[in-house]
Amino acid sequence: MKKVGIIRCQQTEDICPGSTDFKAAAKGSLAFEESGPVEIIGFVSCGGCPGKRAVQRASLMVDRGAEIIALASCITKGNPIGFPCPHREEMKAAIVKKIGSEITVLNWTH
């Protein structure tokens, strides 16, 4: 079973407990279909706009065994607030630059 670290939008922490992220990861469904069920080893926020802690937090989760970093759907799809993060592409590029291309970075979770 692969290990995943999920980065979520700090703006949605008060209105979304991440239940669907956890269910999709446990079942290996939606964004996790290719990997199958995964173990979540970290579920952290981006640190606030413009994702100022996302790179550090992704790197920390990789150091602790994450083989996949997933940007939660609140960042890339705007769930549940209907507004995707305007910094998502830069955030993802900075994460990939820091952790390398051997770690999978998913664009969504559910």
Question: What is the domain-level CATH number for residue 29?
Answer: 3.40.50
Range of the domain at 96: 2-106
How many domains is the chain partitioned into structurally? 1
Residue 75 Cα distances to 27, 36, 72, angstroms = 21, 22, 6
In 3-state terms, the chain is what percent helix, strand and coil (to 5)?
35, 20, 45
CB 41 within 8 Å of CB 5: yes
Position of tokens 């979770």?
109
The pLDDT value given to residue 17: 94
The tens digit of pLDDT for each residue in 42-95 reads 999 999 999 989 999 999 999 999 999 999 999 999 988 888 999 999 999 999
Residue 29: pLDDT band (50, 70, 90) is: very high
